[in-house]
Amino acid sequence: MSDNTDDKRFEKCVDDKMLREVEHFMLREARLLDTEQLKEWYEQMVSPEIRYVVTCTQLRNRNERRYTLPDKVYIYDDNYQQLGVRVTQFYDPQHWRVDPPEQYCRMVTNIEAFETDNKDKIFVRSNCLVTRARRAYEVDQFFYTREDLLIRSEQGNLTLLNRTIDYPERSVQGRNMLILL
Amino acid sequence: MNDMDQLVDIENSTQSKKIFLDQDIYEQEQERIFGRCWLFLAHESLIPKAGDFMTTTMGEDPVIVVRQKDGSTKAFINSCTHRGNKVCSAESGNARSFVCNYHGWVFGSDGSLIDVPLNERCYHGTIDKSTHGLPGIRVESYRGFLFGCFDQDAPPLDEFLGDFGWYLDTWMVGAGGGVELIGPAMKSILNCNWKVPAENFVGDAYHVGWTHAAALEVLGGELAGLAGNQADMPYDDLGLQFTTRFGHGFGVIRHAAASIHVKREGYDKFLRDTLPAVAENLGQARADLYDGHWNCTTFPNCSFLYGTNTFKVWHPRGPGQIEVWTYTIVHKDMDEETKKEIVKQAIRSFGTAGTLESDDGDNMTNCTHTNQGRMTRKGRMDATMGIRHEGHHPVYPGIVGSSFIGETSYRGFYRFYKEAMSAESWGDIRAQDNHWDEAWKDNGFWEAKAGKGE
């Protein structure tokens, strides 16, 4: 999560028309993922150039200076091909883990969209809560802040170019994170 | 005390389902297994400089591991000797001292108590600092892997690993460069008994084609052939399974080290290039295993897949829950790009969001919690696959099973589990050193096979 209060990325909000388009993008994405339309999401909303990263941060003291090994823990570090593997796995008839089906509910809120140096790229920050209900008793919740870069494709629609999540829960309570965030 | 003869039947290779969810058994395990065995703490590459520390747990005991000024490593219990608060909440760092948040007691990086606020004015000099240091734990290193042990009577780490260490040298020494762990660890909570993943990694290649069918199918490559157990394979020629004196064991699929990796050119090349030096350093027997894929458990709770290169610690959190810690193994001599690619592939397969990890987690949870049922828990777990197709091998030490798909290593794991749970002390255990393999009464399988000229 960015701790830069005057981060340049947050300087210039997009206009209302663009914000509506961004909101529509975020809500449609949530709906497609909630309703098992992963293939549609992947083909229509994701840029082939995507980098999809979920990390969490090892707990260190604020004044730590001398220990210099990386503190980022990568949970997802995917490109378009690898995201495609996950989507294909979901639909595989041998994928018993989602049979009986899981139920998902994504809430996307605090959506802010900002202009970037490139007129075709929009920087979007949002907060999310995903609930995954499974096998009668398993209810897992995932909460996080997303920082996305959207890019307008040649066809004119917005697509997801970059997704970066610094996941706040250090030890993931929800069994696994095999769910698109 | 629990009746271990009833709970673990070595001859018939079954275990009572009760051992997977019973609180009393869990308490006995904490005392006799986690209180006695060498437990993985950290890799030296994660605490390279004096003052570097990591926090972890041994069983459920919180522990700090610290690199000392003289290059040695010490570990001590992360609980203030005053009122018990943790003295360190960070997971890693570099510290000259650890200060308890509660009353400000200060402990040195060697665990000694060095300052007590208001010592003169309010304790009136009655606190003996020399007896109030953080309780120390034995620490020893094997090829850079640091283990801790609470039991002063336990054998040294290299004896505890025994023949398993001989096998591990295949890649922990390898061509000479050794391996390291890439952290920080991923961490997640899984509602299962610690033995379920430990037994799975020690000897369960059987589940791979079925549990992970979808993941293998989408991964493609040669592993797709395992999906759904559809392919007609000469299982006895594809690999072996091994178990050793103190329950450590593993299975090997020959020539399959890098098979889970989608982008594997760098890794494959590294294995090819280093293979001759491995043969020269360690001999052909181990060179033959070097480019295989290994599923392993170091008894009791440290498991890894060499090849896939995921490295796990199953920290017990009561009988029905564990915290999974996941690192990645890389050879130190690999180029940075190959290391990075291996980390990515290991994360994608067996990380918290790994395409194979989540399948296992589901099975492990259900294998544990079905035993809540009164009638269910009276049942037995079966681990008989490959029984009598195993024994002393002409080349490889320990007990060797004929196929990588079999339950030889399960039998070895639970043989030592029973022995450790039954023994009063390490003295009792060591007294059996020359008899442990008698559990395999009919252990002439390899001799008979050689006799038939196979």
What are B400-414's pLDDT values in tens digits? 999 999 999 999 999
Q: What's the pLDDT at B216?
A: 86
Look at residue B227 and tell me whether its pLDDT is greater than 90: no
Nearest residue on chain B to A173, alpha-carbon basis: B189
Nearest Cβ partner for A97 among B218, B219, B358: B358
> Does residue B128 sit in the same domain as residue B226?
no
Residue contact A176–B352, C-beta within 8 A: yes
State whether B309 and B350 are in the same domain: yes
Concatenated DSSP letters of B207-274? THHHHTHHHHHHH-SGGGGGGGG-S---HHHHEEEEE-TTS-EEEEETT-TTTT-SS-HHHHHHHHHH
Q: Using the predicted structure, report yes or no on whether residue B222 has a pLDDT greater than 90.
A: no
Q: State the amino acid at position B316 in one-letter form.
A: P
A105 alpha carbon, distance to own chain's centre: 14
Q: So where are chain A's domains?
A: 27-59+67-166
Rounded distance, CA B363 to CA B384, Å? 19
Query: Is B115 a residue whose pLDDT tops 50?
Result: yes
CA distance A34 to A103: 7
Q: pLDDT value at position A2?
A: 47
Yes or no: say if B295 and B203 are a contact pair by the CB < 8 Å rule.
yes
Q: Which of A30-34, B244-248, B252-256 has the lowest mean pLDDT?
A: B252-256
Residue B232 has pLDDT above 80, yes or no: no
The Cα–Cα gap between B180 and B337 comes to: 15
Last residue of a domain, one of B142, B172, B204: B142
Alpha-carbon gap, residue B93 to A57, rounded angstroms: 13
Mean pLDDT of B257-274: 90
Q: Which residue of A has its CA nearest to B325?
A: A171
Catalytic-role residue among B212, B261, B315, B393? B212
Burial of B161 (0-12, 13-18, 19+ CB in 10 A): buried
Is B103 catalytic? The answer is yes
Question: Is B151 tagged catalytic?
Answer: no
Looking at the structure, do residues B22 and B170 belong to the same domain, yes or no? Answer: yes
Pair B283, B322 in one domain: yes
pLDDT of residue B420: 98
Is there a domain that residue B218 lies in?
yes
Write down the pLDDT at residue A6: 59
Question: Is B148 within the bounds of a domain?
Answer: no
Please, what's the b/e burial string for B202-224 (b: 16 or more CB within 10 A of its CB; e: otherwise)? bbbbbebbbbbbbbbbbbeeebb
B217: pLDDT confidence band, cut at 50, 70 and 90? confident
Annotated active-site residue B153? The verdict is: no
Rg (CA), chain A: 17
Copy the structure tokens of residue B422: 């039954």
* Residue numbers of the domain that contains B322: 4-33+163-451
Give the residue from B81, B111, B142 where a domain finishes.
B142
**Which residue, B142, B174, B208, sits at the end of a domain?**
B142
Chain B CB contacts of A95 below 8 Å: 213-214
Other CB atoms within a 10 A radius of the CB of residue A116 amount to 17
Phi first, then psi, for residue A15 (nearest 5°) are -75, 170
Residue B184: asked if its preceding bond is cis (omega within 30°), the reply is yes
Mutate to test the interface with A, among B216, B352, B363, B366 (most CBs of A within 10 A): B352
Alpha-helix runs per DSSP H in B87-126: 119-122
Indicate if B20 and B71 belong to the same structural domain: no
Please tell me the total count of domains within chain B: 2
- Any idea what the CATH number is for the domain that residue B296 is in? 3.90.380.10
CATH number at B69 reads 2.102.10.10
Domain assignment present for B79:
yes
User: What kind of fold does domain A27-59+67-166 have according to CATH?
Assistant: Nuclear Transport Factor 2; Chain: A, (3.10.450)
Catalytic residue among B103, B115, B335, B433: B103
For A88, the token pair is 């294909």
Mean pLDDT, 10 residues at a time, chain A of 181 residues? 64 96 98 98 98 97 96 96 94 92 97 96 98 92 97 96 97 92 96
Q: What angle do helix axes A38-45 and A80-91 make, rounded to 10 degrees?
A: 160
Residue B51 lies in a domain: yes
Q: Residue B97, SS3?
A: strand
The answer to the question of residue B158 being in a domain is: no
pLDDT of residue A1: 44
- Checking DSSP bridges between strand B145-149 and strand B136-142, what pairing results, if any? antiparallel
Percent of chain B topping pLDDT 70: 99
The H-or-E segment that residue B128 falls in is: none
**pLDDT(B225) > 70:** yes
Residue pLDDT, tens place only, A102-123: 999 999 999 999 999 999 999 9
Q: Is residue B149 part of a domain?
A: no
> Residue A115 to residues A49, A150, A156, A159: CA-CA distances in angstroms?
20, 10, 17, 15
Q: Sorting pLDDT into bands at 50, 70 and 90, what band is B258?
A: confident
Which pLDDT score, from 0 to 100, does residue A16 have? 97
The 10 Å CB-count burial string (b at 16+, else e) for B348-385 is: bbbbbbbbbbbbbbbbbbebbbebeeeeebeeebebeb
Q: What is the reported pLDDT for B299? A: 98
Alpha-helical runs (H) found in B283-370: 284-290, 336-350, 357-369
Please tell me whether residues B253 and B187 are part of one structural domain: yes
Pair (B205, B239) in one structural domain: yes
Q: What is the mean pLDDT of chain B?
A: 94
Mutate: best of A163, A171, A179, A181, partner B, most B CBs <10 A: A171
Tokens of B86: 């943790």
| Other CB atoms within 10 Å distance of the CB of residue B162 | 17
The DSSP letter of residue B104 is -
Select the residue of B51, B93, B214 nearest A95 (Cβ to Cβ): B214
Confidence class of residue B454 from pLDDT cuts 50, 70 and 90? low
Cross-chain Cβ contact A61/B358 below 8 Å: no
